[in-house]
Chain A
Amino acid sequence: MTPTHANLEAQLDAYLDGELAAGDARALETHLAECPECVRFRDRRLELRAAILTGIPTFQAPAALRERVQAAARANARRRFTMQTVWRPLALAASLAVVAFGSWTLALQRAAGETLADDVLSSHIRSLMPGHLTDVLSSDQHTVKPWFNGRLDFSPAVYDFAGRGYPLLGGRIDYVGGRPVAALVYGRRQHMINVFVWPAARGPTGGPERRTRQGYHELHWTTGEYTYWVVSDLGLAELQDFAQLLRQADSTAGAPAARPGV
């Protein structure tokens, strides 16, 4: 058969790619031997291939991206591993240990603090998965706050800092440290900020504690009422600025003594 030139180009490409079936390849070689036009076409394709090799770069994944992906994989593995195999026996062991040895309590608390920070981090990472960020999608604090009613046994303070460049994006319920918590989502350009809030078990702490893992910053503090964890891959300075806004808003709006009955 004599291939027509119209479908020859695609065939020649496939031939050069080593993807043409043996029979077709032989027919094409026969044709090439007697068709200078197709030989020119082939040569131009070979030139193009060389030009692509030198002219179109491949890219290396940025180190920060690689770290975030590894962190996500680890958080995912740790979470499942902890839930399934470690946590339940550990909880039992811990309750016995607290009774038996007071000195263990401190160590366990510290370990629990780390576990909590890891928990918060993996919740943050999981929330970035498509469709996981918000259960209630609204930039209106008066929509988001009531949404939590009846879903949680507390009512978290919800603010909108859009004027300061941190718009409210929504909220969801998450499960952290063995209890349901409120997760409020704020944005900063393309970055997401997760604010985890739940009632404080102990009294207020001072300035935010800070932890950085695999490119994510975590800020943590406790007010008289609530425990706060703020997580984002936003730059630390901006995240601290955001935390400051949150603390100010809390101290001016949230003081229960100033608004009895609320």
Chain B
Amino acid sequence: MESSALARFDAVVLPHLDAAYTLARYLTRNAHDAEDVVQDACLRALKYFDGFRGEAGTSARAWLLTIVRNTAHSWHKQHRTDGLAVEFDEREHSPAVTNRQPEARETLGRALDRLAPEFREVIVLRELQGLSYKEISDVTAVPIGTVMSRLSRARARLQEALREEEVR
């Protein structure tokens, strides 16, 4: 990478670091792993950056989030098979338990954590990062119709969680 490419990397990729970290946080459900995943993902992004031309329809953010997502998934696989990583019960250690927060936040945040990863990621990509269905379909490598039905099912579950809390 030459210095002009470095400037381009800085301008194109770094502005999306918060988005990358947010996605990683929700996929790993843990601040420390999220940092590692994002760092790994950025090193991969650096490696493949020469190949990223920003063609029509490929936003830099969607491109970076794709790498973050894939990195998080391969991490998850590694950590489940290598036995080095002790399974960590996020709900036990969730900041929501120790910090007093509004109830809606606690409920929704926990409900999101409990969703299966394929539902969790579409919610984060759509609701927190405002990606289009097309972009989400690129990032998650599923057809747009699947994005649509996953989003709808994920929302239905979150809504259920909210309603249960109101009933209580």
Binding site for B on A (CB under 8 A): 9-10, 13-14, 17, 19, 44-45, 48-49, 51-62, 64-66, 68-70, 72-74, 76-77, 80-81, 125-126, 128-130, 190
Contacts and interface: CB of A to CB of B under 8 A. Distances in A.
Nearest to A66: B17
B138 interface: no
A250 B9 CA distance: 43
Given A14-B133, A58-B22, A69 B108 contact: no
B18 interface: yes
B18 A52 contact: no
A128 B17 contact: no
A65 B38 contact: yes
A129 B155 contact: no
Contacts of B127: 49, 52-53, 56
B14 A9 contact: no
Nearest to B112: A56
A55 B43 contact: no
A68 B41 CA distance: 12
B112 to A, nearest CB: 6
A56 B128 contact: yes
A170 to B, nearest CB: 13
B49 to A, nearest CB: 9
Contact of A128 (B3, B14, B21, B43): B43
Given A56-B105, A73-B9, A48 B158 contact: yes
B43 A74 contact: no
Q: Interface range on chain B: under 10, 10 to 19, 20 to 34, or 35 or more?
A: 35 or more
Interface of B: 1-3, 5-6, 9-10, 14, 17-22, 25, 32, 34-36, 38-40, 42-44, 46-47, 71, 74, 102, 104-105, 107-109, 112, 123, 126-129, 132-133, 148-149, 151-152, 155-156, 158-159, 162
A69 B112 contact: no
Contacts of A70: 10, 14
14 contacts: A13-B151, A14-B152, A48-B162, A51-B162, A52-B108, A58-B19, A58-B22, A60-B21, A62-B35, A64-B35, A73-B42, A77-B3, A77-B6, A80-B1
B81 to A, nearest CB: 15
B42 A69 contact: yes
B148 A129 contact: no
A81 B6 CA distance: 11
Contacts of B36: 190
Contacts of B18: 58-61
Nearest to B17: A61
B162 A73 contact: no
A72 B104 contact: no
A175 to B, nearest CB: 17
Nearest to A58: B22
B42 A72 contact: yes
Output the residue of A13, A57, A64 with the most chain B CB within 10 A: A13
